[in-house]
Amino acid sequence: MEKVDFRTRVLTRHLQDSRRLAIAGDISCSPCLSYTPPEASEQPFSFDVTSMRKLMDGHNLEDRDWLFNLMIQSNLFNPKLRGGKVFVVPDYNQSMEQQREMTMKRIQYLLDHGVFQGWLTGKGFEDEMRKLSLLEVIEIFDHSLAIKIGVHFFLWGGAVQFFGTKRHHDKWLNATENYMVKGCFAMTELGHGSNVRGIETITTYDSKSREFVINTPCESAQKYWIGGAANHATHTVVFSQLNIDGKNEGVHAFITQIRDAEGNISPNIRISDCGHKIGLNGVDNGRIWFDNVRIPRENLLNSVADVSPDGKYLSAIKDPDQFFPDRTVRFGAFMAPLTSGRVTIAASAVYSAKISLAIAIRYSLTRRAFSITPNSAEVLLLDYPSHQRRLLPLLAKTYAMSFAANHLKLLYVKRTPQLIKTLHVVSSAFKAILTWHNMRTLQECREACGGQGLKTENRVGQLKGEFDVQSTFEGDNNVLMQQVSKALLAEYVAAKRKNKPFKELGLEHMNKSCPTIPLELTVSTLRSSQFQNDIFCLRERDLLNRFAAEVSKYQAQGESKESAFVASYQLAEDLGRAFSDRAILQTFLEAENNATDAPLKNALGLLRSMYVLVTLDEDAAFLRYGYLTTENAATVRKEVAKLCNEKYYDAELIKCRDGSKSFTKNRLNDNFCDCADGTDEPDCCDGSDEYGGTVLCPNTCIMGGNIVYQRTSYDSVASNLDAINSRKTKPVIKMEDTAQKLSGLKALVFLQVALVIVIVAFRLIRRRKTRRRNSR
């Protein structure tokens, strides 16, 4: 009973308290937020957007638009009208099986409309660039679709093209382009992924029947993760050790049929499904076993090595393990199609980063959270410096990587035998760095959208699952970066041994004297391309020297070359990044040089500075090895914060009097207070506004009744009448609104005139009374 009494008292007190609070008006509801899409209040850009797009997409703009228009015309791509624009989005409510079937239907639609024309049979620069651009558009729509197409054209088709000879080209390329055959690429095994040389599938030659016999000798030799194998592929390129007369000749590639056109699995082939994945479920990854499968001798892809009808092994390349063309290739030649995969993966990672940043930045330009001062409007997310720091450096990096991807595509398409090594190293580095960047960007964007980031329809969260695999397939990123460092070391050792200048891999800067970094960095130095290039070159040069010294120290202690590499992994990692950052910066500078108009160059200059300074801020190597002093590192950090603000506001800046922030001229008179003290507008005409320094209240202080002044003044008067709501949002100035506000203004003027009349009348009456009093 006592307990009940106690509870009743507590409850009564609670209810009384809350009634008191409500009566006192301490709790009041906020007016509802209204939403305006960011483009509605978008100000004119300071640069030409079309030119920027041209620079970023780089090539085949018309082809890209053509394909996009083709996609929005078909329900297969789920066209949706939103805000007067058509978007295409994947359908997120499908099961894995439905996604796989839908992928095939979309491929059929694209095939019927001639999208793949010339993808394998076309020759030359134009065809190659068109193919790459169209794949990027498909990638923007749906990663699964692009990967399924990529496996068929770039891996299977590429293997036939690069490893095969005329007989293979004649038989397979046209059929592949028309999807008469559906190809896949069986390299990875359960037991061996990154280490391709270790695969266990064995192929022998039967000279009596003139056939190869392919066998999966054990469970770890089953082919695993093979895209297209689970449901649709009719043929595969199978990678296997070739054993001739008891001698292992290393990894070779063979064409094998695994299904007929009706989808029946071929004799002596077993296939099973890899199952549901965290993303990419529109691709049917499968496992394959070969039970002594017999194939004709001609199915060996024989551009590098062949077996004569009577069973003699023929190869111009002696060492099965050698890598680069200047020293003879065998194993390395088999990696060639993977280069095209790395190129397309790197490029598509940048598009994914662009999509997520576009979504997260748009969101941060409309979403408000918390007020800084009582009764003031809630703050736009992108007005928080912390939010700017999270998103805008990623944006700058995405620009940088966009240029890097364009450079890589050109390097690939214009490849010559002399460029194979460079292509291998640059594609490995860029594939790793660009896909890592994408994953980091996706996570940051997901979080920057708060709960909305988790909604599948908003794409960012979904893309994380879809693109995660990019850091693993077609070369695990960490393994690729090791190869980059190894290749740099090989270059270093060769140059030093022969006492010759560096000529490749962008290492020519090592031939010059070592760049010096000023002891005290000024803002103009930090933003100069000379300094930026110098500090990236300095880091690469020094790390390469250190890496070479460490490896040779271990070797001097009796370690093998391979274990010396393994032990020096920290320097190898730092060096791989240093190489990539320097190479990416060079592509940025190239793009900047190609830009002709000044505003575009200015925007690119800011983005480049942001890219470099953020890299300096984030990579501990600059402090660890002393390329930056702690003071300079602090200056860099401050400059990044400044750049974030500048990037956001981009055009001419106005500073708040209290120094809290800056905003652009064109944000004046938008009925929203940009400064924390809330005084930036509309009362600046009395000269009491907050701008310090050089910029003087540009629109509102032009006294004398020009049109801009009148309109903005009326707006500001009208906005006072509607204070709370107008401060919550950034309304677009429309003619109807202006007219409405003007009629509101008439009422106000009328009231003011009435007030003046009342005051004058009151005064006249008082004066008369006073006179009467005095006269008495």
Ligand X SMILES: Cc1cc2nc3c(=O)[nH]c(=O)nc-3n(C[C@H](O)[C@H](O)[C@H](O)COP(=O)(O)OP(=O)(O)OC[C@H]3O[C@@H](n4cnc5c(N)ncnc54)[C@H](O)[C@@H]3O)c2cc1C
Q: Which residues bind ligand X (CB under 6 A)?
A: 151, 185-188, 193-194, 225-227, 277, 280, 285, 469, 472-474, 476, 478-479
Least spacing, CB of residue 243 vs ligand X, in Å: 21
193 or 393: whose CB is closer to ligand X?
Answer: 193
Q: Are strands 235-244 and 202-206 parallel, antiparallel or unpaired?
A: parallel
**C-alpha dihedral sign at 223, 226, 232, 237:** negative
**Distance, CA of 636 to CA of 603 (rounded, Å):** 19
> For every residue of 224-283, which 3-state class applies, written as one string?
EEEECCCCCCCEEEEEEEEEECCEEEEEEEEEEECECCCCCECCCEEEEECCCCCCCCCC
Decide: 228 and 148 in contact? Cβ < 8 Å: yes
Q: Beta partners for 154?
A: none
172 or 649: whose CB is closer to ligand X?
Answer: 172
User: What residues have CB less than 8 Å from 287, skipping those under 6 apart?
Assistant: 190, 222, 223, 224, 225, 226, 229, 271, 272, 273, 274
229 or 628: whose CB is closer to ligand X?
Answer: 229
Least spacing, CB of residue 562 vs ligand X, in Å: 9
Q: Which two tokens stand for residue 62?
A: 């018309």
361 or 469: whose CB is closer to ligand X?
Answer: 469
Task: Report DSSP letters for 652-693, one per residue.
Answer: SEEE-TTSS-EEEGGGTTSSS--STTS-SSSGGGGTT-S--T
Decide: 701 and 687 in contact? Cβ < 8 Å: yes
Least spacing, CB of residue 234 vs ligand X, in Å: 15
Decide: 410 and 427 in contact? Cβ < 8 Å: no
470 or 700: whose CB is closer to ligand X?
Answer: 470
Decide: 48 and 599 in contact? Cβ < 8 Å: yes
339 or 669: whose CB is closer to ligand X?
Answer: 339
Q: Residues of 506-525 as b/e, b for ≥16 C-beta within 10 angstroms?
A: bbebbeeeebebeeebeeeb
Least spacing, CB of residue 92 vs ligand X, in Å: 19
Least spacing, CB of residue 570 vs ligand X, in Å: 12
**Distance, CA of 486 to CA of 491 (rounded, Å):** 9
**Distance, CA of 110 to CA of 178 (rounded, Å):** 11
Least spacing, CB of residue 225 vs ligand X, in Å: 3
Least spacing, CB of residue 55 vs ligand X, in Å: 33
478 or 545: whose CB is closer to ligand X?
Answer: 478
482 or 671: whose CB is closer to ligand X?
Answer: 482
198 or 518: whose CB is closer to ligand X?
Answer: 198
280 or 361: whose CB is closer to ligand X?
Answer: 280
Instruction: Tell me which residue has its CB nearest to ligand X.
Output: 193
Least spacing, CB of residue 691 vs ligand X, in Å: 54
**Residue from 469, 468, 434, 428 nearest 576 by CA:** 428
**Residue from 183, 175, 143, 178 nearest 159 by CA:** 183
**C-alpha dihedral sign at 556, 561, 566, 570:** positive
96 or 129: whose CB is closer to ligand X?
Answer: 96
Q: One-letter amino acid identity for 18?
A: S
Least spacing, CB of residue 277 vs ligand X, in Å: 6
185 or 412: whose CB is closer to ligand X?
Answer: 185
**Distance, CA of 355 to CA of 141 (rounded, Å):** 10
Least spacing, CB of residue 375 vs ligand X, in Å: 53
474 or 617: whose CB is closer to ligand X?
Answer: 474
How many CB atoms neighbour CB 308 within 10 A?
Answer: 12
187 or 448: whose CB is closer to ligand X?
Answer: 187
Least spacing, CB of residue 657 vs ligand X, in Å: 54
User: What residues have CB less than 8 Å from 593, skipping those under 6 apart?
Assistant: none
Least spacing, CB of residue 280 vs ligand X, in Å: 5
**Distance, CA of 438 to CA of 434 (rounded, Å):** 6
User: What residues have CB less than 8 Å from 754, skipping those under 6 apart?
Assistant: none
Least spacing, CB of residue 193 vs ligand X, in Å: 2
Q: Which ranges constitute the DSSP H helices of 365-476? A: 385-413, 420-448, 460-467
Rounded to the nearest 10°, the torsion over CA 373, 378, 383, 385 is 50
276 or 497: whose CB is closer to ligand X?
Answer: 276
Least spacing, CB of residue 240 vs ligand X, in Å: 12
Q: One-letter amino acid identity for 298?
A: E
Least spacing, CB of residue 355 vs ligand X, in Å: 20
* Rg over CA atoms, the chain: 34
